[in-house]
Structure 1
Amino acid sequence: MKPIFTLSALSAAMLLGQTQLAVAAEEKVERIEVTGSHIKRTDMEGPSPIQSISAGDLAATGSTDLIGALQKLPVSGAGTFSTQGNSSDDTANGGSSVALRGLGASSTLVLINGRRVAVSPFAKDIETSFVDLNTIPVSSVKRIDILKDGASATYGSDAVAGVINIILRNDIDGFELSGKVSDTADGGGEEQNFTLLWGSSTDKGQHNFALDYFKRGDVFYGDRDYTATADQRFRGGNNSLSSSGFPGSVEVVRGMLTDEQWARLPVTGTADDGTPIRQTIFADVWGNDTCPEEMIIGDICRYDYAPHMTLIPSTERVSFSYNGVQELTDGVEGFAEFAAQHASTFIQGAGSPSFTELTMMGDNPNHPLASDPSHFLHGVDISMRRRTVDIGNRKKDVDSEYYRAVIGARGNFKDWDWEVAYSTIRSSAVEKGFDGFPNKRLAQEAIDMGLWNPFEPSTNTAEGLAYFETTTTRYGSSTMQSVDGTISGELFELGAGYVSAAFGFESRREKIEDNPDSQYLRGEIFGTEATQANGDRDNTAVFAEFSVPVLDTLELQLAVRHEDYSDFGTTTDPKVAFRWAPVDSLVVRGSWGTAFRAPSLVQLHLGRTDESPSVIDKERCRQTGAEADCEPTEYTAVVAGNKELQPETSENYNLGVVWQATDDFSIGVDYWNYDQDDLIKKIGAQKLVDCCGTDPNLVVRAPMQGSTLGRILRINDTFVNIGGRDTDGFDLNLAYALTTQSMGEFKFTYNLTYALNFEEQSFESDDAGNTSIVVEDLNGEHEHPQYRWTAGVDWANNDWLATLNANYIDSYNDLADSDGNKFKIDSWTTFDATVSYIGFKDLTLTLGAANLFNEEAPFVPSDAMGIDAKTHSTLGRQAYFKFDYKF
């Protein structure tokens, strides 16, 4: 069945000059390979649900990069991330990826022209391996096919939630020049994008080249009035000001004090067993440099890091690509793809925080109470919570290189089509911290020698600060080499037609390196996350697929794939699908299959990595009621890999119907269901504190004061196979075309993804501290809106074209606060619009705006800045002008 229309009005205009060429090409090719199958077909409509996005559809979103368009799709869910929110604490600065169905970016397989791509060398949030979509410029994309059911039987690991197959342009004949400039209504994020395309097409081959330049300015949290402070109480949110302030707080640890010194500390309450509870944190209010009064909250000197942090990093990318096919002999053609990119990204974070890493002896001349013998802290060895604002904000540059090459041949032998190819991909990055990074060992030496007085910053000299300020380097690379081959054709004839088959193999080697410099490895850099991971694996796969015409109206698809991994064993995954067309206007389709996701090399081989998450110590809060315990507070969390991990497994099925009601109207409905087991997860600092806050192996605390828990010192986290996940829902797709005599042509679309269920297993503990696995229903909860939809209209009349798209995200519940209450996060609707004029020969001019009405991201109290940057965008209205010229 053919869809009503496959190109938006805008894309039709952009490709107007190439229509005759495309028609000629279609006449030559009787069979094409469709995403989700290795068997060539004569039509695009197969047994599995596929959503195709044309180059014009991408342009209509107003996005200059792929993630800007893909994250608006209703099928994109929790785990999708763009470059926004990449602060200095992020571990994947400048990267972006999509998570279909909310099952995680690592469960969505990204292909280019049907082949795998190497993952980014730097994992997201330490744990998530992903293909960085920013390495693929929009100008090189012909269309994007999204396969919305499991596809491990066809493509192997990671195709759990589905597949995003990016098809590169192969239709350029001549030269095309385009440019786009944009700016935002609220400042920052300005963009420039210029592209030169050239190519040739003959009966013997096609050769396509692209040169692309992209630059975006940064946006700071301080550039948006609603994110300009981490104290969100003015909006009804949390006080998320950092507990590491400036000049900071004095903190004492029981093990550093004598009994007599401990007994002198102020008493703030009494434990259930009558034991006095001692105050252990004191804001610095002594001397000349004191903590501002408005920043003393709960006896802690706080710091507002929001104005100094990157919300969207600045980036500059230069990309080159080639995509070509050339006839070698009669019936045999060679093909090649090459892509290269250099990217530079700048990220800034607030001054580095310390959490008791630094100490000062009681006899140090710079001790804040050295001149007050009567004070209870006089002569007491102390630690501190403070930010090294003295040496400036943390600044990092990330320079990355990306290379991809594919060379192969395809042909026909006795009515069987064959194809073989070799691929090599390398993605590397160097992250340099060039300002604002302290070395812990040297900082301690500077304190001990009196070179640096952390409690009187105004007295410090440039020489003293330079003694412990350092630069950092982190190098990462991800490589993949693979050889693959397929052969497909017809086996024999049944009554309803020929049984077709495809057989193939793939041999792949992957390697990843993520190496911070020796200062990180020695634990000398505090307050900044860094990862270390080194690993490699070999994989060999064989697969088979059959298309069986059971009846004239019924097609059956059978597929199976067997994979052998060098680091955890073998797996075999089948898939069964059908396509039934009882009448010409109706198609019923369905699929069932199993899928798997191998543990990523990062999850297996990650070395010790320190995080600094904000956590509410809910149990201690219930005991003390102190503001310092009931508000988000940063703690050190130690994360490491686990070589005993087993792969995630899943079972999925899909059942749908597509009805071409009239020549102008079609409707499609698909029900989908995923059942995953052995999920690989980093449990998370907050979850560990909630479930296991009294387990000293997981949550290390200061000694108890009677029956009252001591303050958290460290949280130990790792990756585990834990429980499972069940989710199901349906997709609705509507399309309607209207042609009028005087007002032009209209094309209307509506796409909805509605989740009926999203259950996930996790840890929980009872009052006695016993832990168990329970099921949480996350549907409609934090980062999991129950449904999303987009609606659009394209209009064309003579020399004018226009598009208007609406994007809707449902409301959902925020995370529970310390009292167990959940805030309702508002739904969010934005509009994108374009107007184009094509009256000039070979020239198209476009004015457009993304988020036309500058709709502010909804308020999310649990987030430090009051926004959910993984679900909503803070860029605001982005107006742009674009031109496309062909010559």
Structure 2
Amino acid sequence: MSRATQFSLSKLAIAISSCSLLLTANTHAQEEEIEKIEITGSHIKRTDLAGPSPVSSLSAADIANTGATDLIALFAKLPISGQGTFSTQANSSDDTANGGSSVSLRGLGADSTLILVNGRRVSVSPFAKGIDTAFVDINNIPVSAIKRVDILKDGASATYGSDAVAGVINIVLRDDIDGAEISAKIGGTADGGGGEDNLSIVWGNTTDKSNHTFILDYFSRDEVLYADRDYAKSSNQSALNPNDPFATDFRSSSGIPGTIALKSDPTNRIPDTFGADVCPAEDIVGTLCRYDYAPYMTMVPSTERFSFNYLGKYEINDSLRAFAELNGQNSKVTIKGAGSPSFNELFMDGDNVNHPFANMPEHEFFGQDLTMRRRMVDIGNRKKEVDSDYLRTVLGLKGEVGDWSWEAAYSYIKSKSVERGVDGFPNSRRVQEAIDNGSWDPFEPSKNSQQALDFIETTTTRVGKSTNRIWDAKISGPLMDISTGEVMVAIGVEHRKETISDNPDDQFLRGEVFGTEATQANGERDNTAVFAELAIPVMDNFEMQFAIRHEDYSDFGTTTDPKVSFLWSATEDVSLRGSWGTAFRAPSLAQLGLGRTDESPNLVDKLRCDAIGNINKACEPQEYTAIFEGNPDLGPEESQSYNLGLIYNVTENLDFSVDYYSYDIENIIDSDTQHLLNTKGLDSSVVQRIPTGIAGDPGEIVQIFDRFQNIGDLSTTGLDLDLKYRLPTEMGDFKFSYILNYVIDFKDERPDGQGGKRTNIAEGDFEQPQYRWTAGVDWSKDDMTAYLGINFIDSFKQQEAVQQDGMSDVDSMMTVDTSFNYHGIENTVFTVGVTNLLNEEPPFAYHDFMGFAVNVHSGQGRFAYLQASYKF
């Protein structure tokens, strides 16, 4: 057992002991306490589960049916999940949020989807995704701890505040255990890598005065390399798909031993075919020595997580109760990548002792100062290790005063991550020093000593911390009686203090580490909110609900967001519901306080392509250096949304709901480096280039300067359909379900550079499938249950930057999941299951080396698992 794990167990023991002392004894659940409950989407307690807002709930059994071992595997299959949902898939040595996962409802962004745990906020990850997207890492919550997941599918800023633009995911934890349960699960993929082990222990007790629930969970997953998948094992997709004229060679222009160029004119270059170490003939393309980096990169990193959860309640008297929640996790993630690349950052003087042309006076490079594109394979492939700790503490009181219910709590949530580059990272200052003094020869790697390699290699460190301290209080109850019923009201206040810090070591800040990306961001803010809700039974079958929330930000002033909703039960079987509201999303602390950060996006230099054609692959996607900084002048995103739905219980066994939704968001915060390059690529203050000597050539890009802006507007409309049918037969009971999300319209508009707007993303564009659906059937008979599910993702266009006439779209993808459970042994359940039963490969996409859209499709392949649970 590692020292970190021992430390986590020690903290767990102390926490449990403290809570047991605080919440000793026992409580009983009086029937009147559950007569009115608070449902996701409202602070008003009610006697029924149906409210004016569209809410879908997934039980623990529903989650188990999907075969999901963690929450992102579940959310990635939800039809409502859209562009911006991300998992640990495609984590690489260039990623800025390794090990993190989050979901984007309706494709409006992970930072516009509010994640709650038991109805309360948590802290964001200290490492932003894509250097700017603040997100709650849902990997912090083990599946074994979940009672259910509620998904509120309309805007809820008036109820829960900023960030609830697209909707809310409320993760409700198990708190009602009386006894003990142990569960073990193992699984593996058909194509290699990705093996999983999961062990959870749950125990608790419930008495007249209190209940206590304890959950321990261990999860591990083996890495999956791109080399493990035939369609992604090489970055030379044109070689993997020889009959496809559009497939691209994505091999890096930084090879080993590399490409030699003149310092005065880096476009005057030749592959290194001199001396003992030469570029392999198969890697020479034109004037470049290329490198196939894909086999060495992780598609899914190896992961190990240890989690603990405690939930307790204690009845002080008949009208006063104390409660506590403790959730924590230690996570370790290992990410691998190919050796670090350099792109003309290193130089060799013409009189250097290791000059490759020192004995070739007839060569044009003789005695010339040189630069190079070189892959640092000789110091090893890159490896990062991320060690993260998550802690959430909630202490509170709740009770009743007459017919009124009240609750008050203090929450402290902290996330801390340490990312270390432990192998394959060079220090550019020391590399240049070793070149200059002759102790390291970049062009003859086989002759370099281990001492020289140790000198140029470094370890990197990046430390991030995010905290959230929250005081909240609310009270709800009947305001008055009218002829049609009780007018209900809820009033509350919340104060939050958020901090975030993300700091790489001094080497990064001095620009001495190449071959990786790291962010720097620091900030803090206070937020004070007051909110109120009013539910009025206008008629016996018609309810209206009003909500309003006023928030005061320490760095943005104030905002007030209202929401109006209704529920009309036209008949016993037919109901109509609707809502309208506004929302406000403040820029994240990372977007405001980001320090200078280097990114490496794949871009197409269209201006250069138009000028000189495809010389040296000028018209093809290439990796460029983009330098980002935060923007303290950013304004908030503001939006409004509405929803209109029908609920119809057709028969006792058949029911469905259909909802139409619409969102309009103004002043979205983003960057668009490709558009910046297209429109300002000849502006030297925006794009730095070096001349090539080719007639009409604007020059090769060295770096691009970019920052976040309130850059445009976004609107989307669509339909949600949820259909259920129950069929009891002599062969068993069947439950059929079908859930569909259909995007009628999606329009992400950006400036066109001429004072107007252009559509950046529309429905059906890259990674924006127009519809997604899942269909399933549950079967139960005697001691057996089974599930069969189908998941469908519509086709969509290839990325705009690579679109060519005759190029096919990214195909649709359908996968099948199935599981079988046997309950025939007392207190025991055995499960066998398979996700992606037919081992469907993700459809081909031309935009990047892996050959598929990693943010939409999974490369896991067939995954089979066995699980056993025992209660005692």
User: Which TM-score bucket, shorter chain as reference?
Assistant: over 0.9
Between stretches 414-423 and 618-627, larger displacement belongs to: 618-627
Quote the offset at 1:763 in angstroms: 4.1
1:246–1:303 contact (8 Å) kept in structure 2: yes
* In 2, Cα distance between equivalents of 1:653 and 1:396: 44
* In 2, Cα distance between equivalents of 1:654 and 1:23: 40
* In 1, Cα distance between equivalents of 2:431 and 2:343: 14
The question of 1:484 aligning with 2:472 is answered yes
Match of 1:440 among 410, 419, 428: 428
Match of 2:4 in 1: none
Match of 2:489 in 1: 501
Match of 1:198 among 199, 203, 206: 203
1:487–1:504 contact (8 Å) kept in structure 2: yes
Match of 1:271 in 2: none
Q: Report the residue type matching 2:789 in the other structure.
A: N
After superposition, give the CA deviation of every residue in 1:244-275 in whole Å (9 maximum; x if it has no partner).
1111112335xx36xxxxxxxxxxxxxxxxxx
Quote the offset at 1:820 in angstroms: 4.3
2:28–2:207 contact (8 Å) kept in structure 1: no
Match of 1:17 in 2: none
Quote the offset at 1:351 in angstroms: 0.3
Q: Helix, strand or coil for the counterpart of 1:781?
A: coil
1:355–1:636 contact (8 Å) kept in structure 2: no
Q: Helix, strand or coil for the counterpart of 1:127?
A: coil
Q: Report the residue type matching 1:848 in the other structure.
A: G
Q: Helix, strand or coil for the counterpart of 1:723?
A: strand
Match of 2:61 in 1: 56
Q: Report the residue type matching 1:713 in the other structure.
A: V
Match of 1:110 in 2: 115
Match of 2:376 in 1: 388
Q: Report the residue type matching 2:736 in the other structure.
A: F
Match of 2:9 in 1: none
* In 1, Cα distance between equivalents of 2:858 and 2:291: 25
1:308–1:349 contact (8 Å) kept in structure 2: yes
The alignment's C-alpha RMSD in Å is 1.6
Q: Helix, strand or coil for the counterpart of 2:309?
A: strand
The question of 1:783 aligning with 2:772 is answered no
Between stretches 408-417 and 801-810, larger displacement belongs to: 408-417
* In 2, Cα distance between equivalents of 1:786 and 1:371: 63
Match of 2:644 in 1: 655
Match of 2:337 among 341, 345, 349: 349
Quote the offset at 1:764 in angstroms: 3.6
Match of 1:810 in 2: 794
Match of 2:838 among 853, 861, 868: 853
* In 2, Cα distance between equivalents of 1:291 and 1:617: 27
Match of 2:779 in 1: 795
Quote the offset at 1:694 in angstroms: 1.5
* In 2, Cα distance between equivalents of 1:754 and 1:477: 39
Match of 2:702 in 1: 713
* In 2, Cα distance between equivalents of 1:281 and 1:817: 27
The question of 1:373 aligning with 2:358 is answered no
After superposition, give the CA deviation of every residue in 1:533-581 in whole Å (9 maximum; x if it has no partner).
1110000000011001111111001000000111111111000000001
Match of 1:744 among 732, 735, 747: 732
* In 1, Cα distance between equivalents of 2:261 and 2:790: 52
1:816–1:823 contact (8 Å) kept in structure 2: no
Q: Report the residue type matching 2:48 in the other structure.
A: D
Q: Helix, strand or coil for the counterpart of 1:56?
A: helix
Match of 1:240 among 250, 267, 283: 250
Unaligned runs of 5+ in 1: 1-21, 258-277
* In 2, Cα distance between equivalents of 1:722 and 1:300: 37
* In 1, Cα distance between equivalents of 2:158 and 2:236: 50
Alignment of 1:214-613 (within 5 A): 214-233=219-238, 234-235=240-241, 236=244, 237-253=247-263, 256=264, 279-613=267-601
Identity across the alignment (%): 55
Between stretches 811-820 and 852-861, larger displacement belongs to: 811-820
Match of 1:273 in 2: none
After superposition, give the CA deviation of every residue in 1:340-392 in whole Å (9 maximum; x if it has no partner).
11111111111001111111112212222222222222222222111100100
Between stretches 689-698 and 318-327, larger displacement belongs to: 689-698
Q: Report the residue type matching 2:793 in the other structure.
A: I
Unaligned runs of 5+ in 2: 1-26
Match of 2:10 in 1: none
Quote the offset at 1:121 in angstroms: 0.7
After superposition, give the CA deviation of every residue in 1:99-158 in whole Å (9 maximum; x if it has no partner).
000011010000000000100011111111100011000000000000000000000011
* In 2, Cα distance between equivalents of 1:764 and 1:527: 33
The question of 1:867 aligning with 2:852 is answered yes
1:127–1:682 contact (8 Å) kept in structure 2: no
* In 2, Cα distance between equivalents of 1:84 and 1:393: 19
* In 2, Cα distance between equivalents of 1:25 and 1:329: 12
2:425–2:515 contact (8 Å) kept in structure 1: no
How many residues matched? 839
* In 2, Cα distance between equivalents of 1:252 and 1:379: 10
1:239–1:631 contact (8 Å) kept in structure 2: no
Match of 2:657 in 1: 668
* In 2, Cα distance between equivalents of 1:500 and 1:70: 34
2:814–2:840 contact (8 Å) kept in structure 1: yes
Match of 1:209 among 199, 202, 214: 214
* In 2, Cα distance between equivalents of 1:744 and 1:476: 53
User: TM-score scaled to structure 1, two decimals?
Assistant: 0.93
Quote the offset at 1:818 in angstroms: 5.2
Quote the offset at 1:412 in angstroms: 0.7
Q: For the structure 1 residues 819 and 838, does the alpha-carbon distance in structure 2 shift closer, same or farther, using more than 3 Å as the test?
A: closer
Quote the offset at 1:455 in angstroms: 1.0
Between stretches 325-334 and 440-449, larger displacement belongs to: 325-334
2:102–2:137 contact (8 Å) kept in structure 1: yes
The question of 1:828 aligning with 2:813 is answered yes
Alignment of 1:26-45 (within 5 A): 28-45=33-50
Q: Report the residue type matching 2:776 in the other structure.
A: G
2:28–2:209 contact (8 Å) kept in structure 1: no
Match of 2:8 in 1: none
* In 2, Cα distance between equivalents of 1:506 and 1:701: 51
1:240–1:631 contact (8 Å) kept in structure 2: no
Match of 2:97 in 1: 92
Q: Helix, strand or coil for the counterpart of 2:618?
A: helix
* In 2, Cα distance between equivalents of 1:84 and 1:251: 36
After superposition, give the CA deviation of every residue in 1:474-532 in whole Å (9 maximum; x if it has no partner).
11110010000001111112221111100000000000011111100110001200011
Q: Helix, strand or coil for the counterpart of 1:812?
A: coil
2:97–2:127 contact (8 Å) kept in structure 1: yes
Between stretches 595-604 and 357-366, larger displacement belongs to: 357-366
Quote the offset at 1:301 in angstroms: 1.1
Match of 1:270 in 2: none
After superposition, give the CA deviation of every residue in 1:54-84 in whole Å (9 maximum; x if it has no partner).
1011111111101101110000000001111
1:690–1:764 contact (8 Å) kept in structure 2: no
Q: Report the residue type matching 1:796 in the other structure.
A: S
Q: Report the residue type matching 1:844 in the other structure.
A: V
Quote the offset at 1:23 in angstroms: 13
Quote the offset at 1:458 in angstroms: 1.3
2:603–2:801 contact (8 Å) kept in structure 1: no
Match of 1:11 in 2: none
After superposition, give the CA deviation of every residue in 1:751-798 in whole Å (9 maximum; x if it has no partner).
000001111112445xxxx67532234211111000100000000011
User: TM-score scaled to structure 2, two decimals?
Assistant: 0.94
1:243–1:634 contact (8 Å) kept in structure 2: no
Q: Report the residue type matching 1:858 in the other structure.
A: P
Match of 1:8 in 2: none
Between stretches 236-245 and 497-506, larger displacement belongs to: 236-245
1:815–1:823 contact (8 Å) kept in structure 2: no
Q: For the structure 1 residues 818 and 425, does the alpha-carbon distance in structure 2 shift closer, same or farther, using more than 3 Å as the test?
A: closer
* In 2, Cα distance between equivalents of 1:523 and 1:852: 48
